[in-house]
Structure 1
Amino acid sequence: MSIEFSKKLTAHETPIPGVVLYDLPVHGDNRGWFKENWQREKMVALGLPDFRPAQNNISFNEKAGTTRGIHAEPWDKFISVATGRIFGAWVDLREGPSFGAVFTAELDPSQAIFIPRGVGNAFQTLADNTAYTYLVNDHWSADAQGQYTFLNLADETAAIAWPIPLEQAELSDKDKAHPRLADVAPMPAKKILVVGADGQLGKALRELYDGETGVEFAGRNEFDLASEDSFASRNWKNYSTIINAAAYTAVDAAESPEGRTAAWAINVTAVARLARTAVEHDLTLVHVSSDYVFDGARTTHAESEPVAPLGVYGQTKAAGDAVVSVVPRHYIVRTSWVIGEGNNFVRTMASLAQRGIEPSVVDDQIGRLTFTQDIAAGIRHLLETGSDYGVYNLSNDGEPQSWAAIAADVFGLAGGQASHVSGVSTEEYFKGKPAAPRPLNSVLALDKIRATGFQPPQVSQRLKEYLGAELSQG
């Protein structure tokens, strides 16, 4: 069979999710032929994952009928034929609804195929002296063999129509002994690791992902962000994503010498360790930022606004954002005025209302509350939809309010009287007290997150639900 020359570089989807067959341009003349077997820029532009190959392997097969597989390995592969021709068979052996899906095709040097981690790969040579070549994005090791998943070439469920019957083909004894599909343990997907999982956001993520084995939670006891050992002792090949839910958020304490050191350690140094890990292992890093990276001079803050933090806390968050931005696969989720499980402004105001206390509350800082359940939902949405990497503002929606106006709403919902809340300026409120400077305008533009299909719920509705749950508990 002759090679078809001068095909256009083209991608063809297959019945197995993530498995893509490519036509490759081969240029030939009377001397032979030449092709770009792997061309990152062109192929990534065509939709091939930028899977960062680490090793190039070649299987040379002397005789037609040599049959190898079906092996699902814990790495991605980009497969092509250097010389000869093969019949390829691929079976999805990953956990999920496509488990057992089959795709077959004949390949010559003018084609290549991308095979994601966990998809079983097999081939049968259709010509003598066939060289089968593949790029993989991890280095082979003896330890990795324990993570392989295998399927018998003769499995009746897959029902692969081998051109040369298996009884006439050249097979290894190991391949003959592999299990049928009914006995195959599917390869689990790579996990999401949530660090800082005992804080407000971590608890919301625990609730959102409750019961899902693909998400692992680590509080300080399980993963100490300040310890290099925590990073060195974990097998990062088993993960796809890190969600960083840890942060130093004591805004006023950060202005003290001790607080400044702690804020930089958690919000910058630890984040740098996470970023380095994400880059080295090609992970997605999700990081939560703050409205405090802005000076509040603009009435609404878009993602593209240059940062201009006023205090130490804001400076550490801005520095952490800059570190994360160098990770190729990153989401920086910028929030404001976070409310979740634990001590917070809404709970404090509800307690004052129930005790008949009439507080003075700042009325010249304007923004929107952000409930942790919606931050968690927004993060999950970005990850599951594969939205473009980058910075996303995420608060709840609705008319911006001052802290005093929010306090009045809480009083009304908690059985008190809104009129019992009086307004005071930030300057007056903090007069004579050690306090960090605060942005007066913290309203975040939500157009970008909405464009991904995520609609942040209204503040008013979430506040009613939150207080309803709080008051019903006592």
Structure 2
Amino acid sequence: MGIEFSQQLSVTPVSAIPGMMVVQLPVHGDNRGWFKENWQREKMVAAGLPDFAPVQNNISFNETAGTTRGIHAEPWDKFVSVATGRIFGAWVDLREGESFGNSFTLEMDASTAVFVPRGVGNAFQTLVDGTAYAYLVNDHWSAQAQSRYTFLNLADETVGIRWPIALEDAELSDKDRAHPALGQVTPMASRKTLVLGAAGQLGRALRKLYEGDSNVEFASRADFDLTKPEHHDGMDWSGYDTVINAGAYTKVDEAETEAGRCEAWAANVTGVKLLAKSCIENQLTLVHVSSDYVFDGSNEIHTEGELVSPLGVYGQTKAAGEAIVEMVPNHYIVRTSWVIGEGSNFVGTMANLAERGIKPSVVDDQIGRLTFAEDLASGIDHLLASQAESGIYNITNPGEPQSWADVAQSVYGFLGRPTSDVTGISTIEYFQGKQAAPRPLNSVLDLSKIEETGFRARNQHAALEDYLRMQGQE
């Protein structure tokens, strides 16, 4: 069987093994031989192949027909192809999940390649002498990496691969002959999600959302300090595919002081830079939470495409952090406002004042929407689960925009206190004589983009009542 010349580049998913793809390569031949583009990132990604960022190219030369290698599942993605000769390829899904044990076989020559996802076992048998088989992989080989391989016996009866040349007549290594049967194989674990800032309001909401999910791990600042290079360098990122950065310096007023300014820039910019670098180097998806404070509040509603215009140091650091995160190929920047969750927050403070019979003065010229941490966590989970397009997304609870004074009156009313106990006051009046950061007077974020992906949070007024009701039960 000869090579098929001048076929069109195409990428076809393998239904039995999720993420695996067969690539038909254009091969151009004449009286001198043939030529092909074995890897062409721009064309292949456009055709549907993942942009998997290969870093190492390996070639296996096999002198005789019947040489058989595998079944090896490595902790990285592979793009395998034939440089010369012809092979019978076999792949078995050795990842944990419903497709564990599923197999796929294909005869290949120089006109065919296969994308093999991490954790899928790869094997081949040469059909002619002098066959060269190439592996393009997206991680560097190391002894440590090899310790994470998963193996399957070539003769496993459950999978039942029909080798063209019987294995007793084939050339195998002793190691390959000794690999375990499918029933003895420990599936390769899925890559995990790492949540940083797990002690904050959003971090706690994410803990509740992912409770019992072994594929999500949590780290507080004590566990992983973004600002310390040694924490990044000492981290084995190979077991992760996603990082959710729920941590930040959020002391808006203290950020205007000399010490606070340094802390804010260290956490929100320098630490984010180190994290972005780790994500780029290890092909991780980065979810980064930002703020309405990146705007000056001069627009009635803030879209994702609006140019940032921060007023104070905190907003400036969040805007700078966004610019860094946008350099990560796979990223979600989630802008939010007025977060309410487990821990110290405005609603809790107002509820406490109401119960004590205090009549507060509350700012009435800052307009926005509340964001309940559990809804923000669900929105982040939705972006990841739906594999939405990378970029910036606004997430708050929907509903009619309101002022802080409006929120306070709702809290008082729910708790049976007169709403007239809350007196509205302007921002200038409230902070007169106090050291305070400038604040955007309009923090309303446009929710059209996130809602177009299929996510819509609870109405903020209903969510507020749910929150107060739950607080009353604790």
The match for 2:13 is 13
Q: What displacement does 1:388 show?
A: 0.8
CA deviations over 1:151-182 (Å, ceiling 9, x no partner): 01111111111111212211111111111111
Aligned counterparts of 1:447 and 1:103: Cα–Cα separation in 2: 42
Q: Say whether the 8 Å CA contact 1:414–1:471 is kept in structure 2.
A: no
Q: Which amino acid aligns with 2:26?
A: P
Q: Map of 1:194-233 to 2, 5 A cutoff?
A: 194-233=195-234
Q: Map of 1:37-76 to 2, 5 A cutoff?
A: 37-76=38-77
Aligned counterparts of 1:239 and 1:261: Cα–Cα separation in 2: 30
Aligned counterparts of 1:275 and 1:130: Cα–Cα separation in 2: 41
TM-score (ref. length: structure 2): 0.98
Q: What displacement does 1:415 show?
A: 2.2
- Is 1:412 matched up with 2:430? no
The match for 1:403 is 404
CA deviations over 1:255-284 (Å, ceiling 9, x no partner): 111111111111111111111111122211
SS in 2 for 1:147: coil
The match for 2:253 is 252
Q: Which amino acid aligns with 1:5?
A: F
Q: What displacement does 1:417 show?
A: 2.0
TM-score (ref. length: structure 1): 0.98
Q: What displacement does 1:110 show?
A: 0.5
Aligned counterparts of 2:301 and 2:73: Cα–Cα separation in 1: 50
The number of residue pairs the alignment matches comes to: 473
Aligned counterparts of 1:179 and 1:43: Cα–Cα separation in 2: 35
Aligned counterparts of 1:234 and 1:356: Cα–Cα separation in 2: 51
Q: Map of 1:451-462 to 2, 5 A cutoff?
A: 451-462=452-463
SS in 1 for 2:244: strand
The match for 1:331 is 332
Gaps of 5+ in 2: none
The match for 2:395 is 394
Aligned counterparts of 1:291 and 1:398: Cα–Cα separation in 2: 17
Q: What displacement does 1:226 show?
A: 2.2
Aligned counterparts of 1:446 and 1:101: Cα–Cα separation in 2: 41
Q: Which amino acid aligns with 2:221?
A: R
Aligned counterparts of 1:400 and 1:101: Cα–Cα separation in 2: 52
Identity %: 66
SS in 2 for 1:300: coil
Q: Map of 1:348-359 to 2, 5 A cutoff?
A: 348-359=349-360
Aligned counterparts of 2:47 and 2:337: Cα–Cα separation in 1: 38
Q: Map of 1:169-318 to 2, 5 A cutoff?
A: 169-318=170-319
CA deviations over 1:345-393 (Å, ceiling 9, x no partner): 1011111111221211111111000011111111111112111111111
Aligned counterparts of 2:43 and 2:102: Cα–Cα separation in 1: 29
Aligned-CA RMSD value: 1.0
Aligned counterparts of 1:194 and 1:395: Cα–Cα separation in 2: 20
CA deviations over 1:388-425 (Å, ceiling 9, x no partner): 11111110111111111111111111221222212111
Aligned counterparts of 1:281 and 1:49: Cα–Cα separation in 2: 15
Gaps of 5+ in 1: none
The match for 2:4 is 4
The match for 1:429 is 430
Aligned counterparts of 1:412 and 1:98: Cα–Cα separation in 2: 54
Q: Which amino acid aligns with 2:164?
A: P
